[in-house]
Amino acid sequence: MRENTIRYSIWSVLAMLLLVAAVKRENHFGRTNKTLGDTLDWPKSFGFGKKASAKQIAAWDIDISPDGKGLPAGEGNVSRGREIYALKCAACHGATGTEGPNDRLVAAPDSAGKSSGARRIKSIGNYWPYATTVFDYIRRAMPFNQPGSLTDQEVYSITAFLLNANGLWDDKNTLNAKNLPKVKMPAQDKFVPDDRIDGPEIK
Amino acid sequence: MNTTNDKNDSAGIRISRRNLLAGAAAATVVLVQTAQGKAFQAALTQAENMSDDPTKVPGVPPGTLGTRSAFEKPVKAPSDTSSRTPLQDLYGTITPSDLHYERHHGGVPAIDPAKYELVIHGMVDKPMVFTLADLKRFPSVSRTAFLECSGNYRGSNDGKLRPQEICGLVSQSEWTGVKLSTIFREVGVSPKASWFLAEGGDAAVMTRSVPVKKGFDDAIIAYAQNGEAVRPEQGYPARLFLPGWEGNASVKWLRRIELSDAPFMTREETSKYTETVAGGKIRQFSFTMDARSVITYPSYPAKVEAGWIEIRGIAWSGRGKIARVEVSTDAGKSWKTAALQEPILDKAITAFRHLWQWDGNPTEIMSRAVDETGYVQPFLKQLLAARGGNMGYHFNPITAWYVQKDGQVLFKAT
């Protein structure tokens, strides 16, 4: 009997300690789910999954950073881009990239804050902060009805054409991995990180 | 061949449906024998089984899938780019999975779970690829939280807007999956990594940059929603889920995560999901959803009668728990504290109610949410003033309802 009582109290002390530990962790992560034990007794690695091969990563790793990291080899020019645009893009974005019906792709750099009808003019020339994003997005998602169908060369050409139409690229120059990240985008300086914080301030 | 295991005949009923319906037309009660020899009322649908007195007709036998009552027809409101949850038709805080709002950028992909793979690479010790089965083997977590699109506001002048149109791009589910921190731990994320790219396997190959800190704090790779596999519209077979953050960053159909020391500046965090604020500045990486509430009853298109009315609604905040919801029944002149329904969860929709005796005179009713950080949901005017007159993403104004003399309830901007 006595022994049982002692064992019992040891267990309750242990349980209390565990509970305290759990509550502490919970506060630390701000979670509401109470999970006892958590990661304490986890192995260093569960060993699930397999190593990703360089080939598999390369097949999917298509993102392009503002510094140009990820841009493929190749080059394009405005006149070729104009042809492809007329063929594969104009139906949805308009003959000059301003008519729609889908997103406007051309805006003069000085049209920031101006409106067309009820809509504020917002496009590559006056809103997009990085030229690399134009290449990245078109290559991954356009044309909308045939995503991922363009060659890298075609994407360079369309990008050159769109930058030119937005007043940001000379139609005599070819566009490539070296000079695309250097295109200065007029709106870049306007971008500021979110400054809202917890608390009563309305921002 | 064991006929009782016939898949087309899960209740084990040995009678064709055509015979059955023919029988139903001839007689009110159709008896059929199951494979086990038990007699059953024919497997009619609820609609087919309708009668003036349900106590005089045997009901529908057990089935393989539950159905909504033929009398209940809540539906989402789709547009070209999204589909909105019918908030005014719902009760409590969980959104039925088939009514969860939708927003995607290249349609809903069909993904074979057997072929699904998630690649994690970049600034990690071990670049890894996980199958869906792999993800399910890791320690799991469940969490009830809201998901809201940051473009979740609409107004109108004629007042004929339901909560569904005004802010139906918010829904709530219980999400189950593996914590991203567990996966980060498994692949050994470099201490120098500060951002990760989340990429979807949809036609838009949608990408967002997310701070690594969020990944360690409370991000989940969710493979289940409300007790079953995540719905295709919600990212089947696995999606990122970032509690309290704008829905777009919770990338669906997650196929790749790349760790880096800088954001990637994808289209969805530059051209879209950024907002012009005071001084012509453009606010970027505004992830957190500010506190918001909406009265879902009475709301347009309801028509009410004078007398006791339980005002009901929902409130949520991306910064934590809802601390308080205040309700005004005199156009914002005075406010009373509404009753909150337990449980009040972190970054989750919380239900509120307030009993009101309407005297039949036209008035305006409205609610405002206060979260545990002290944030108070603003009026539209306040928001516009704070943002230099600009509307855009992250617009969470107080929603007012004008109650006309005839009881018709109409939306009113604040």
Whether B382 sits inside 8 A of A202 (CB atoms) is yes
What global pTM score does this model have? 0.88
Binned at pLDDT 50, 70 and 90, residue B78 comes out as: very high
pLDDT at B213 over 70: yes
Classify strands B195-200 and B400-403 as parallel, antiparallel or unpaired: unpaired
Q: Which residues on neighbouring strands pair with residue B257, listed in sequence order?
A: B120, B198
Please report, for residues A59, B166, B173, B304, the alpha-carbon distance to residue B99 in angstroms, rounded to integers and kept in the order given.
36, 16, 11, 26
Tokens of residue B398, six digits: 């107080």
Work out the average pLDDT over B304-310.
98
Q: How far is residue A30 CA from its own chain's centroid?
A: 27
Q: What's the mean per-residue pLDDT of chain B?
A: 91
Residues 296-325 of B with CB under 8 A from A: 319-320
pLDDT at A48 over 60: yes
Mutation target among A115, A150, A194 for the B interface, most CBs of B within 10 A:
A194
The type of residue at B120 is I
pLDDT at B7 over 50: no
Task: Give chain B positions within 8 Å (CB) of A60.
Answer: 119, 199, 255-256
- % of chain B beyond a pLDDT of 70: 89
One CATH from 2.60.40.650, 2.40.10.10, 3.40.50.720, 3.40.30.10 for B292-412: 2.60.40.650
Task: Give chain A positions within 8 Å (CB) of B199.
Answer: 60, 63
The type of residue at A158 is I
Whether A203 sits inside 8 A of B106 (CB atoms) is no
Q: Is B188 buried (19+), middle (13-18) or exposed (0-12) by CB count in 10 A?
A: middle
pLDDT at B44: 62
Q: Residues A95-135: pLDDT tens digits?
A: 999 999 999 999 977 665 666 665 678 999 999 999 999 99
Q: Residues B284-306: pLDDT tens digits?
A: 999 999 999 999 999 999 999 99
Q: What's the mean per-residue pLDDT of chain A?
A: 85
> How far is Cα A88 from Cα B380, in angstroms, rounded to an integer?
42
- Flag whether residue B290 sits within 8 Å of chain A, measured between CB atoms: yes
> How far is Cα B152 from Cα B138, in angstroms, rounded to an integer?
34
Task: Give chain A positions within 8 Å (CB) of B185.
Answer: 39, 42
Task: Give chain B positions within 8 Å (CB) of A52.
Answer: 119-121, 127-129
Q: Residues B257-277: pLDDT tens digits?
A: 999 999 999 999 999 999 999
Where along chain A do its domains lie? 2-29, 63-190
Q: Which residues on neighbouring strands pair with residue A191, listed in sequence order?
A: B282
Q: Which 8-state DSSP code applies to residue B4?
A: G
Residues 327-366 of B with CB under 8 A from A: 345-346
Q: Residues B153-200: pLDDT tens digits?
A: 999 989 999 999 999 999 999 999 999 999 999 999 999 999 999 999
Is the domain covering A63-190 a CATH 1.10.760.10 domain? Answer: yes
Q: How far is B266 from chain A (nearest CA, A)?
A: 6
Q: How far is A19 from chain B (nearest CA, A)?
A: 18
pLDDT at A39: 75
The residues, ordered by sequence, that sit 6+ positions from A101 with a Cβ below 8 Å of its Cβ are A92, A94
Work out the average pLDDT over B80-93.
97
Q: Which of A31, A52, A194 is closest, CB to CB, to B283?
A: A194
User: By CA distance, what is A189's nearest residue in B?
Assistant: B281
Q: Residues B193-211: pLDDT tens digits?
A: 999 999 999 999 999 999 9
pLDDT at A115: 67
pLDDT at A58 over 70: yes
Q: Which fold has domain B82-273?
A: Sulfite Oxidase; Chain A, domain 2 (3.90.420)
A67: number of CA atoms within 13 Å, CB side? 4
Binned at pLDDT 50, 70 and 90, residue B104 comes out as: very high
pLDDT at A22: 43
Where along chain B do its domains lie? 5-56, 82-273, 292-412
Q: Residues A2-42: pLDDT tens digits?
A: 444 444 444 454 444 444 444 444 433 444 444 445 677 89
